[in-house]
């Protein structure tokens, strides 16, 4: 599933509520039919892995950062997760390998390398639910390709909820929720939402710098992102 909408619409709030960083004033949040306030915080957060645009790394070794939250993991499991995240090549090229210090907030690593460490951590955690705050949105094309491959591996067999800043990333989502001013205003698949000519179609047209057609349903080539140069969008 994907959450899309303008900056400040409330997309990140959904993640904060799911992780119980915030408590809702009314209503109930259910996971597999169970009220998340009726389970322990430890149990809830063990079932969820989070990968964000700006991953949290600690001033420690690469090994310690990958196994954070999975401290009992064996060296073999840590390295297996790194390989799956396409991180092992750059790690092994470092003088101290997995024992290399990353510095405060991972300052000694590039953006793509930090993301792959975060993805390796999520793979090692092996949680059934994955929250993605589109982690490739701020990367260059070379780093994005490597991270995207790692993300595809991470998403296999899991329930995934993604905040999407670039609409080209949600085309294959089973369901897209369009959020505006804190409310869900549209729900559907990519193609259906484009044809409807509503909020999603307007966001898409704006992002790809296309003049809105009089009849959105008649714009048959609109879904083909490869033919449209995408503008960089942040926030």
pLDDT, one tens digit for every residue, the chain (235 residues): 999 988 888 888 999 999 999 988 889 999 989 999 999 999 999 999 998 888 889 999 999 999 998 888 999 999 999 998 889 999 999 999 999 999 999 999 988 899 899 999 999 998 999 999 877 766 777 777 777 787 888 888 899 999 987 787 788 889 999 999 889 999 999 999 999 999 999 988 887 765 555 554 435 545 454 454 444 443 3
Position 154 scores a pLDDT of 81
Specify the pLDDT at position 232: 43
pLDDT given for residue 211 in this prediction: 53
The pLDDT, as a whole number, for residue 222 is: 53
Q: Name all domains of the chain by residue range, CATH numbers in brackets.
A: 2-214 (3.40.50.300)
Q: Give pLDDT, residue 190.
A: 93
Contact 20, 36 (CB under 8 A): yes
Report pLDDT for 130.
92
Q: What is the structure's pLDDT at 43?
A: 92
Give the pLDDT confidence score for residue 38 in this predicted structure. Answer: 93
Give the pair of three-digit tokens for residue 232.
């960089």
What is the per-residue pLDDT for 233?
40
Tokens of 58: 């600690």
C-alpha span between 174 and 195 (Å, rounded): 16
Residue 196 burial (C-beta neighbours within 10 Å; 0-12, 13-18, 19+):
middle
Give the CA distances from residue 234 to residues 68, 77, 138, 179, in Å, rounded to whole numbers and listed in that order.
28, 35, 8, 16
- What's the predicted TM-score (pTM) here? 0.79
Among left, alpha and beta (phi > 0; psi -120 to 50; other), residue 53 is alpha
């Amino acid at each position: 599933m994907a959450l899309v909408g303008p900056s400040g619409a409330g997309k990140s709030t959904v993640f904060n509520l799911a992780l119980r960083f915030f408590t809702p004033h009314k209503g109930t949040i259910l996971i597999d039919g169970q009220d998340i306030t009726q389970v322990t915080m430890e149990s809830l957060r063990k079932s969820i892995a989070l990968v964000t645009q700006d991953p949290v790394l600690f001033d420690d070794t690469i090994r310690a950062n990958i196994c954070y939250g999975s401290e009992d993991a064996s060296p073999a499991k840590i390295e297996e997760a790194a390989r799956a995240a396409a991180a092992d090549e750059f790690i092994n090229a470092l003088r101290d390998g997995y024992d290399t210090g990353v510095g405060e907030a991972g300052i000694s690593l590039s953006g793509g390398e930090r993301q792959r460490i975060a993805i390796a951590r999520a793979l090692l955690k092996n949680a059934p639910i994955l929250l993605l705050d589109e982690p490739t949105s701020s990367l260059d094309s070379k780093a994005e390709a490597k991270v995207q491959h790692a993300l595809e591996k991470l998403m296999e067999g899991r329930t995934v909820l993604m905040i999407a800043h670039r609409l080209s990333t949600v085309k294959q989502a089973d369901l897209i929720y369009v959020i505006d001013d804190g409310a869900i205003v549209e729900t559907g698949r990519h193609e259906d939402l484009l044809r409807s000519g509503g909020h999603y179609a307007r966001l898409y047209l704006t992002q790809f710098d296309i003049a809105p057609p009089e009849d959105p349903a008649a714009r048959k080539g609109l879904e083909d992102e490869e033919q449209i140069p995408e503008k960089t969008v942040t926030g």
